Chain A
Amino acid sequence: MKGFIKIVVIAMVFVAVSCQDKAAPNYQYMPDMHESVGYETYGEAAFPNGIQAQLPAEGTIPRGFVPFDIENSTAGYNLAKETLTNPLDSTEVDFERGKVLYDIYCGVCHGDKGDGQGILVKREKILGIPSFDDVGRAITHGSTYHTVYYGKNAMGSYANQLNEEERWQVTSYVMKLKQDLEK
């Protein structure tokens, strides 16, 4: 009898454990407020493209946002290089934050020193990354910001990852790295 009870208990444990499938979400007891009634940012919905995150109407400007008027072209790049200046003054530039952002978003290709020797370059995953002190390019605040905003050649846009103030912090830090390389 005792042995029988043991077998029953073990069998029940096995049955209980076997129900849980690691490859699928687990069973829920009464998931009353588990599924969202409202729309969630990255959810799916019965919208034209099937996602809940819809694009804003073109030409609209949210509060606290300044559109970047220089266009994404060589002409625009040159215009930025010549005319665009860093709006941050010396009290607003924060190299520590600039370094943190640079190391996260830029260092992987450009290298922590800006010498074009990022970890992906060293491992030969990609090539053709110029150093910031490349004389032929002669980058300025304006051209750097334009590049971060739109991307250039093999580099993509970082406007999505960094907001305007962060882009200028990164730009400031890039220019500091350039100075350090030129020493």
Chain B
Amino acid sequence: MAASHYEAPIRRPLVAGKKTYHDVTVDVARPVEGKANKQWWIVFSISLAAFLWGVGCIMYTITEGIGTWGLNKTVGWAWDITNFVWWVGIGHAGTLISAVLLLFRQKWRMAINRSAEAMTIFAVLQAGLFPLIHMGRPWLAFWVLPIPNQFGSLWVNFNSPLLWDVFAISTYLSVSLVFWWTGLLPDFAMLRDRAVKPFQKKIYALLSFGWSGRAKDWQRFEEVSLVLAGLATPLVISVHTIVSFDFATSVIPGWHTTIFPPYFVAGAVFSGFAMVNTLLIIMRKVSNLEDYITIQHIELINIVIMITGTVVGVAYITELFVAWYSGVEYEQYAFLNRATGPYWWAYLLMMTCNVFSPQLMWFKKLRTSIMFSFFISIVVNIGMWFERFVIIVTSLHRDYLPSSWTMFSPTFVDIGTFIGTIGFFFVLFLLYARTFPIIAQAEVKTILKSSGQYYKEIRESGGSLAGAAVDVRTSGGSPMQVSEGVKENSSDKVNDLLDSIGVFDAATQTADDLKKISGIGPKMEDVLNSIGIYTFLQVSKMSKKEYDLLDSITGSFPGRAERDDWSGQAKKLIN
């Protein structure tokens, strides 16, 4: 070990493959710079349709009234608040990954924190819809804010956890948004600097706030990240605690419990990580990020799911024990009703999905299986949806007064609204995945030499890392040497050609591998480079006139470019 760096040999690489800094950039930028494929459009259309259906349901609810839902006088909260708590819970993993794992110096968070935070923000947006649309008169929702007014400055009562929810959710959303966006600045700057088309350059220049990556900027960036992580961590815990207070501070048997705050937070992390797993397993595949979101990441997420799932399981047992131990017949009946009442199937589903399924993660073979992880991640989210449903509905539909006992069944509007939020979530996430750098490349680059497979291998074989990051595509001498194959008197023609297809600027653009075009070999690539043709973009702009000019410059293989349709091939390669 010649290097001064020490890392425990037990640690597995976090970045697979022979990745250099430039590779990271290219891999992260590829989904943004390329065009969406057919599958993306199909999934996006389905999500958009679900979203629009949800919008319709919401409009119907607001114009027609809450009576379009399946609520009744006994069960006043059901799918609305179930979905609210479910979405808020899902949102929690994002902040946990970016904040708590940052405080614990977990390097593996770097490849997943960006998407996890995006998930947080999109999930909290969905959650934020429900407190508004479940209101009888949502147009007076602004009354929840303590604003001086003409009613003798009538204010809100600060004793309600529903008001705390307002503050919790809005603070949570804004802090998460700021935290996310700060982390995005260096990555937007990267996209800005790579952008070829002026519109993209303008957009990413605006989004990156003029990030120039100076030492002082980075120093402050790190400090801000740490401070925000320190703020976001108590926020995560308090937000879901406050959400749990909606129930825990009530007098309803089955709700009035002191275990709810930590138990809800554990459940939130549980379901949130499951959702992260669902999304990342798909994303690493479709965005070709398997080298960054490795099986190790999935395994670690699975371990978090296993731990929090166990915490949730302990909480379930605690609740049951305390109900038995309490001697309060209402409390005992509430749990008896959950297990054997008319909603026994929901309780059983919740118990199976939340207590049983995460325990399978003890088996290494299962937790390192992508297919199995994906399956369990969905199972967990179904289970956690039913956890909230069971807590809310089974406690309400049978409580103190038997004459008030009733049942609950949702209407299509309840279900449609929920489907709509799922659609909205995926609309946002799909748009995000095509326009945002989905991996925090700036952060991944900081661990590339310590945790990248390539560099670890160099270190372990006793080699030196000096110069190991050199990438022939980004370093080396000026490529603008004119080779001897091109005659001097053709310079006018070269200028004509470059006028119509654009000049390559080595400072802002990177050369493409023109050999990918069938018909261009290493030799032809050299010739093209000597003329000044380096990118697919340039080749794609060629037409009959340019082909003829090229032929007259090179004097070799006349008509070859046209026959092979270089331009058409290059257009495909750009995408």
Residues of A within 8 A of B (CB): 29-30, 32
Contacts and interface: CB of A to CB of B under 8 A. Distances in A.
Contacts, number: 5
Interface of B: 137, 139-140
B135 to A, nearest CB: 13
Contacts of B139: 29-30
5 contacts: A29-B139, A30-B137, A30-B139, A30-B140, A32-B137
B403 to A, nearest CB: 30
Contacts of B137: 30, 32
Contacts of A29: 139
Contacts of B140: 30
Contacts of A32: 137
A30 B139 CA distance: 8
B144 to A, nearest CB: 16
A32 B139 CA distance: 11
A32 B140 CA distance: 11
A142 to B, nearest CB: 53
A29 B137 CA distance: 12
A30 B135 CA distance: 15
A29 B139 CA distance: 9
A31 to B, nearest CB: 11
A29 B140 CA distance: 10
Nearest to A32: B137
Contacts of A30: 137, 139-140
B64 to A, nearest CB: 15
A48 B137 CA distance: 37
Nearest to A29: B139
A35 to B, nearest CB: 16
A32 B138 CA distance: 12
B63 to A, nearest CB: 13
A1 to B, nearest CB: 18
A38 B261 CA distance: 47
A23 B96 CA distance: 59
A32 B137 CA distance: 9
In the A-B complex, the 5 residue pairs with the smallest Cβ-Cβ separation, listed nearest first, are: A30-B139, A32-B137, A30-B140, A30-B137, A29-B139
B65 to A, nearest CB: 12
Nearest to A30: B139
Nearest to B139: A30
A110 to B, nearest CB: 45
A32 B65 CA distance: 13
A101 B140 CA distance: 47
A106 to B, nearest CB: 41
A30 B63 CA distance: 13
A66 to B, nearest CB: 45
A74 B137 CA distance: 65
B142 to A, nearest CB: 10
A149 B139 CA distance: 55
B145 to A, nearest CB: 16
A164 B139 CA distance: 51
A40 B555 CA distance: 99
A15 to B, nearest CB: 21
Nearest to B136: A32
Nearest to B140: A30
A139 B291 CA distance: 115
Nearest to B137: A32
A32 B135 CA distance: 14
A97 B469 CA distance: 105
A77 B440 CA distance: 104
A141 B140 CA distance: 61
A119 B137 CA distance: 56
A33 to B, nearest CB: 10
A53 to B, nearest CB: 32
A146 B267 CA distance: 85
A173 to B, nearest CB: 42
A30 B62 CA distance: 13
A31 B137 CA distance: 12
B132 to A, nearest CB: 15
A16 B35 CA distance: 46
B59 to A, nearest CB: 16
A15 B140 CA distance: 24
B262 to A, nearest CB: 41
